[in-house]
Chain A
Amino acid sequence: MSVEATLLDAVLAALLLWLGWRALASADLYKAVVQFMVFGLLLALAWVRLGAPDIALAEAAIGAGLTGALLLDTLARLGAAGAADEPHPLRLTPARAGVALACLLLVALLAATVLALPADLPGLAPQALAALPASGVSNPVTATLLNYRAWDTLLEIGVVLLAVLGVWILDAEPALPRPAPDPMLGLLLRVVLPLSVVTGGYLLWVGSHAPGGAFQGAALLAAGGVLWHLAQPLRLSASLPARAAVVAGFAVFLAVGIATAVLGAGLLTLPPAHAGALILLIEAVAMVSIALIMVALFAGRAPTTVDGRQ
């Protein structure tokens, strides 16, 4: 690696540590969250530096973007009093000494371990690359997510689904206040929404051979959806269409799995000939579902729901 590269890395590392700490330690939670989002963007940069552009995209869109937005909007719901925290939220008190000590010990041991680990273990890269031709896609990360370790991803989409089911169960009141539709916002929407749809779709498409994929695309779609929600609040109650929409991605993925098990070579064993198409199908549906779920995490359940509360 070249010197300036390591210099850049050193600066980036220092910034990450500083921002990470600010994001945790700032007494004002609003500041903390904003710093967390900036931290996320820097993190994305670090991912690029580590040759992980897929993660960089996901981090920027989901880690920084969506998580940050959720945090901010919860802060808004808590109100000034609820959002207030003590001036020195992490100050070291006798009560916390044990925790601090444990964390320090962990850091020391982890650091020692990292330094002690073998310097050049290729991990599973060789196998992953060798199997790529039969995977139906040319982006090894997508191949891993949707083929080699598709079982993980299926269950992971289940986790996402659970998040929205939980929110529905909690009957969380719509997260954002409903402002009068703002013409300016509407205008913005007319530009952004198509844009987010197009870029989302594009990311999904390139995911097969270049950085990108369902999750990144979904995040972009969701961004559009959230804007829309801002413009004129969406009513994502647990109605049948909504339930069908959020479960579709999981259902299609599972259906493919079962079909391959019953008709084909085994659970989630995609026939190389059709692997590419199947993966695209799964990702397309999953993207829409996940995007809707992410919007639903904001919109929560609208007033008119199964039970007439609110």
Chain B
Amino acid sequence: MSVALLYGLVGVALAGMGLYTALAARHLLRRLLGFNVLGAGVFMLLIALGARATGAAGRADPVTHAMVLTGIVVAVSATALALALLRRMHASEGSARLPEDRAP
């Protein structure tokens, strides 16, 4: 099994666990961790699939690299905004969970 394929599958697994956490976790910081791992998985899948031909064409696909760089920067921006919202919500409502996830 080729390196690309191996990492591709790792990416798939990461995406899966990240998605589960993003949806299932209650603490918003954990959900954000989930989104970041999900993103990492997606990016890894993209690069791995782009690197499939590395053997043949010699060079990996730069377009996938550029896409992932873009994705990473977008992800950190979104995370930063989400964290700012989280801090503000905790300051005003005293909880780091969404209302529907707060213990009754």
Please say whether chains A and B are actual partners in one complex.
Answer: yes
Residue from the list A23, A24, A123, A162 in contact with B63, Cβ < 8 A: A123
Question: Is B60 a contact partner of A85 (Cβ separation < 8 A)?
Answer: no
- Is A128 engaged at the interface, CB distance under 8 Å to the other chain? yes
Residue from the list B25, B47, B63, B83 in contact with A124, Cβ < 8 A: B63
Among residues of B, the one whose C-beta sits closest to the C-beta of A120 is B53
Q: Which residues of A contact B74 (CB under 8 A)?
A: 156, 159
- Is A96 engaged at the interface, CB distance under 8 Å to the other chain? yes
Q: How many A-B residue pairs have CB under 8 A?
A: 268
Q: Which residues of B contact A29 (CB under 8 A)?
A: 27, 29-30
Question: Is A20 a contact partner of B17 (Cβ separation < 8 A)?
Answer: yes
Q: Which residues of A contact B66 (CB under 8 A)?
A: 141, 144-145, 148-149, 152-153
Q: Which residues of A contact B75 (CB under 8 A)?
A: 63, 67
Question: Is A50 a contact partner of B3 (Cβ separation < 8 A)?
Answer: yes
Instruction: Give B88 Cβ to nearest chain A Cβ, in Å.
Output: 5
Q: A49-B7, A55-B65, A74-B87 are in contact. Are A163 and B80 (CB under 8 A)?
A: yes
Among residues of A, the one whose C-beta sits closest to the C-beta of B39 is A63
Q: Which residues of A contact B95 (CB under 8 A)?
A: 82
Q: Which residues of A contact B69 (CB under 8 A)?
A: 54-55, 58, 141, 145, 213, 215
Among residues of B, the one whose C-beta sits closest to the C-beta of A129 is B59
A contact residues, total (Cβ < 8 Å): 95
Q: Which residues of B contact A123 (CB under 8 A)?
A: 50, 53, 61, 63-64
Question: Is B24 a contact partner of A96 (Cβ separation < 8 A)?
Answer: yes
Residue from the list A66, A90, A152 in contact with B25, Cβ < 8 A: A90
Q: A29-B27, A141-B66, A152-B66 are in contact. Are A9 and B80 (CB under 8 A)?
A: no
Q: A120-B55, A141-B66 are in contact. Are A89 and B6 (CB under 8 A)?
A: no
Residue from the list B12, B14, B43 in contact with A111, Cβ < 8 A: B12
Q: Which residues of A contact B51 (CB under 8 A)?
A: 50-52
Instruction: Give B79 Cβ to nearest chain A Cβ, in Å.
Output: 6
- Is A70 engaged at the interface, CB distance under 8 Å to the other chain? yes
Instruction: Give B69 Cβ to nearest chain A Cβ, in Å.
Output: 6
Between A106, A120, A126, the greatest number of chain B beta carbons within 10 A of the residue's beta carbon is seen for A120
Q: A50-B47, A141-B62, A149-B63 are in contact. Are A13 and B57 (CB under 8 A)?
A: no
Question: Is A107 a contact partner of B13 (Cβ separation < 8 A)?
Answer: yes
Question: Is B86 a contact partner of A36 (Cβ separation < 8 A)?
Answer: no
Question: Is B62 a contact partner of A128 (Cβ separation < 8 A)?
Answer: yes
Which of the 9-residue segments A170-178, A195-203, A259-267 touches chain B? A170-178
Give per-residue flags for B1-43: 1 if the beta carbon is below 8 A from chain A beta carbons, else 0.
0111111111011111111110111110110111011001001
Which of the 9-residue segments A97-105, A223-231, A235-243 touches chain B? A97-105
Give per-residue flags for A118-130: 1 if the beta carbon is below 8 A from chain B beta carbons, else 0.
1111111110110
Complex Cα distance A104/B9, Å? 13
Question: Is B45 a contact partner of A114 (Cβ separation < 8 A)?
Answer: yes
Instruction: Give B36 Cβ to nearest chain A Cβ, in Å.
Output: 6
Among residues of A, the one whose C-beta sits closest to the C-beta of B79 is A67
Q: Which residues of B contact A115 (CB under 8 A)?
A: 5
Question: Is A103 a contact partner of B19 (Cβ separation < 8 A)?
Answer: yes
Residue from the list B6, B27, B32 in contact with A10, Cβ < 8 A: B6
